[in-house]
Amino acid sequence: MSIPFYEFPSSPILIIGALGIAVATAVFFVSYQKYFTSPLNKERAEKKKSLVKEQKELNERLEKIEQDLKNL
C-alpha cells in the first residue's frame, strides 16, 4: 500500500496568483490601519467629541461633589 503525495505544481500562473493574494492581503491590512488612525475618520472624530463632552460633564460633577464636601 502506498501513500499518495501531492506535488505542488510550479506553474507561473499559480505563483502569480499566490503573490497577488499576498499583495491584496497586505494592501487590505495597511489601508485598514491607515483608515482607522486617520484624523479624517468621521466616526473617530464623533467618538472623540462625545468623550470630551462626557469628560467635561464628569469634571463638573466632580467639582460639585468637592464643593459639597467642603460645605459639610
What's the whole-model pTM score?
A: 0.48
Amino acid present at 52: V
pLDDT tens string 13-54: 888 999 999 999 999 999 988 888 887 888 888 999 999 999
Can you say whether the dihedral through the CA atoms of 21, 26, 27, 32 is positive or negative?
positive
DSSP state of 40: T
pLDDT of the residue at 6: 72
Annotated domain spans of the chain: 11-40, 42-72
